[in-house]
Structure formats: C-alpha cells, structure tokens
Amino acid sequence: MSGFIKREYDYAIRICAFVANPKKSDLTSISTISKNLFISRPFVAKKVYQLIQKQILKTTQGKERTVSLLVNPTELSIYDILKAMGLSGFLNKYLNIPGFCPLEKFYKIYNFLRKQKKSLINTFEAKKIKDLAFTK
C-alpha cells in the first residue's frame, strides 16, 4: 500500500520545518539541510527548487546556496506545502467533482469521505510550520 502522504511531501514539510527554526540567525545551506535531515543532497536540492517555484522558499546565489522561508512561518500551513508539492486527489479524486456520482445523495460512504476530506484539510490548514520548526 502506498502512503497517503508521499515521501517527497513529508521531506518538503521537514525541509520547511528545519529552515523555520526560530533560533537560527543565519540562512541554512542545502548541504546542512541534507546532513541534518538524512536526505540526499540532490533530493533536497530538487525539493528546495520546487518550493522556490511555489514561492515558499528562497535561496541565495553562489556555490553553497543558502535557503530561507519566503513565507512567514506563522502563516505557512502544512496544507500550503502539500499543495505546492502537488497533493490534489485527497482520499478520492472524485470527491473533487460535484455531481460525478449520481448516487452521491444516497451514498453514505461518499458523504463520509467528503466530511473526512474537509476535516483533514482543515487540520492541515490550521497547523503552521512554526509549530513544527526544529528546535536543534
């Protein structure tokens, strides 16, 4: 069974949480992130690039690029990161298409899943990256 939250989504959240450390006074390099999170440097670089494209992270130029949050960690939600990484088909892709199932008014599982989807999204939206920031 594949995971609900893909490894790449988990790593993107970890990278943002590491960069959001409130005790750091300087920017963090991709190598430092890789070493501390036990993620290969190329994979970190790929995720950082994706998060830059979605305007969540920013980097400096140079041989050892440094990374910081572009979004305030008190405003950046886990859901923002998941969406930036491509999460779209929460639970069941057909829950996103109103009227897809002609039985949806009577289909108890459909309504249950729709409520669970809404609950999960609300939970992920409420949890901010500052709450998950690494402390060491």
The answer to whether residue 102 sits within a structural domain is: no
The answer to whether residue 110 sits within a structural domain is: no
What is the Cα–Cα distance from 136 to 134, expressed in whole angstroms? 6
The answer to whether residue 80 sits within a structural domain is: yes
The answer to whether residue 57 sits within a structural domain is: yes
The pTM for the full model equals: 0.82
pLDDT band at 21 (very low <50, low <70, confident <90, very high): confident
Structural contact between residues 56 and 80, judged by C-beta atoms closer than 8 angstroms: yes
Q: Which domain holds residue 74?
A: 7-88+128-132
The string of pLDDT tens digits covering residues 76-91 is: 999 999 999 988 766 5
The string of pLDDT tens digits covering residues 77-131 is: 999 999 999 887 665 556 556 666 666 666 777 778 778 888 988 999 999 999 9
For residue 3, pLDDT beyond 60: no
We report the CATH number of the domain holding residue 14 as 1.10.10.10
The answer to whether residue 108 sits within a structural domain is: no
Number of domains in the chain: 1
Structural contact between residues 61 and 47, judged by C-beta atoms closer than 8 angstroms: no
